[in-house]
């Protein structure tokens, strides 16, 4: 797939009361000869995935170099654009087999890594001179804001210490509790009861759908660091179309659990190897509604947890071996 001639599709969406969102950029491969709805239906944003950011943090910790951040001034504009915009990969970084948002440059035994998320850039190198050269090169081309050492990125609080890196979402967690008026609630020790068996609860009392969806959406963003709430948040997310009191109470229990664990995060030690290890597990016939299996995976670089997911399988497995093969396949795909 050749990225030369790739098209940016700018979409403006109008809501009620005349409010208009900002332009959102989406990338369409070979967009110069494809039409939306005929040649393609979906687009994607060219941004780094959170697991790629976590991987870069773990790698920089193991290699013992600092990460820095910068952003492009005035990257977002509110004006409409009528022209097609074409992009290509930057000079010296052309790679048509691996179209990513992570850019790597090597010079003898040194390396510089650059991760891009729209207008936010994090970078680090084993050689400080390469970092300085990169900053100067970016300043010549764009108006840049140099933010110094990476300490806050996409809602993640980052502390780069001598013996490793600690990341958490304590600030976001406190704002979440305050938003849903749970900042003074009593803390509990687990995010879900071992006897909890959520179902559609047709006889239950309905709750405000928009409020429930807002809570679930906020909690899903928190799973960027909090693996411990991943399963229960995904479980509660299944009932957004018609939430009941039982579902809302289960979601509120997660907030009570967060009240006592606001400062929990991930620790990336620098005294580990670069070995990649993956794990997978599942619950057989775990969903009481359709009897489908929920499987999960996690991936570690040394002892640093960098990626995980929890997902209900698409079909009912007839025996445990079948379910385990499906879970292993998903785990291997993510590992690759």
| Phi/psi of residue 170, nearest 5 degrees | -60, -45
Q: What is the pLDDT of residue 11?
A: 45
For 23, how many CA atoms within 13 A lie in the half-sphere containing its CB?
15
Using only C-alpha atoms, the chain has a radius of gyration, in whole angstroms, of 22
Q: What is the pLDDT of residue 92?
A: 62
Specify which residues 267 forms β-bridges with.
166
Pair of tokens at residue 198 = 């959520």
Residue 326 CA: distances (Å) to CA of 227, 312, 314, 336? 21, 11, 10, 16
Q: What is the pLDDT of residue 176?
A: 92
Contact 144, 72 (CB under 8 A): yes
Q: What is the pLDDT of residue 125?
A: 92
Helix/strand/coil for 206: strand
Q: What is the pLDDT of residue 17?
A: 43
CA dihedral of residues 98, 226, 126, 121 (deg, nearest 10): 60
Q: What is the pLDDT of residue 33?
A: 63
Q: What is the pLDDT of residue 179?
A: 92
Residue 146 CA: distances (Å) to CA of 70, 75, 96, 243? 5, 14, 30, 45
**Alpha-carbon distance 233 to 217, whole Å?**
9
Q: What is the pLDDT of residue 245?
A: 92
What predicted TM-score, i.e. pTM, was given to this entire model?
A: 0.74
Contact 270, 163 (CB under 8 A): yes
* Ranges assigned E (strand) in the chain: 6-11, 24-28, 67-72, 85-87, 102-107, 110-117, 120-125, 144-149, 152-153, 156-161, 164-168, 265-269, 276-283, 294-301, 304-312
Helix/strand/coil for 86: strand
Edge-first strand order for the sheet with 304-312 is: 276-283, 294-301, 304-312
Exposed e or buried b for every residue in 236-273, given b needs 16+ CB within 10 A? bbebeeebbebbbebbebbbbbbbebbebbbbbbbebe
Residue 274 CA: distances (Å) to CA of 45, 59, 60, 269, 301? 29, 8, 11, 11, 6
**Alpha-carbon distance 302 to 60, whole Å?**
13
Give per-10-residue mean pLDDT for the chain (336 aa). Answer: 39 44 52 64 66 90 91 63 63 62 86 86 91 89 83 88 92 92 90 82 89 92 88 88 91 93 91 89 74 85 88 79 86 88
Specify which residues 59 forms β-bridges with.
none
Pair of tokens at residue 82 = 């009528």
The H or E element containing residue 185 is none
Residues present in the chain in total? 336
């Amino acid at each position: 797939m050749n990225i030369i001639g790739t098209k940016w599709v700018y979409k403006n969406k109008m809501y009620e009361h005349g409010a208009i969102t900002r332009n959102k950029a989406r990338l369409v491969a070979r967009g110069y000869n494809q039409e939306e709805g005929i040649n393609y239906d979906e687009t994607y944003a060219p941004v780094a995935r959170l697991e790629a950011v976590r991987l870069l943090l773990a790698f920089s910790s193991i290699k013992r170099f600092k990460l820095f951040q910068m952003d492009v001034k005035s990257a977002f504009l509110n004006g409409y654009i009528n022209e097609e915009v074409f992009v290509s990969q930057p000079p010296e970084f052309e790679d048509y087999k691996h179209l990513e948002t992570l850019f790597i440059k090597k010079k003898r035994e040194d390396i510089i890594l650059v991760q891009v998320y729209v207008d936010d850039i994090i970078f680090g190198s084993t050689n400080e001179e390469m970092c300085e050269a990169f900053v100067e090169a970016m300043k010549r081309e764009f108006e840049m804001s140099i933010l110094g050492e990476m300490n806050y990125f996409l809602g993640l609080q980052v502390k780069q210490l001598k013996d490793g890196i600690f990341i958490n979402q304590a600030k976001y967690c406190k704002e979440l509790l305050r938003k849903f008026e749970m900042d003074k609630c009593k803390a509990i020790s687990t995010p879900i009861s071992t006897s909890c068996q959520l179902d559609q609860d047709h006889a239950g009392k309905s709750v405000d759908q928009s409020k429930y969806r807002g809570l679930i959406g906020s909690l899903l963003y928190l799973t960027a660091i909090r693996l411990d709430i991943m399963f229960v948040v995904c479980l509660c997310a299944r009932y957004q179309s018609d939430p009941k009191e039982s579902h809302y109470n289960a979601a509120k229990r997660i907030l009570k659990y967060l009240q006592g664990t606001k400062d929990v995060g991930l620790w990336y030690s620098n005294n580990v190897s670069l070995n990649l290890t993956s794990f997978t597990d599942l619950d057989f016939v775990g969903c009481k509604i359709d009897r489908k299996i929920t499987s999960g995976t996690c991936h570690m670089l040394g002892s640093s947890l960098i990626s995980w997911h929890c997902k209900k399988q698409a079909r009912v497995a007839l025996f445990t071996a079948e379910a385990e093969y499906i879970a292993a396949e998903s785990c291997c795909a993510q590992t690759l």
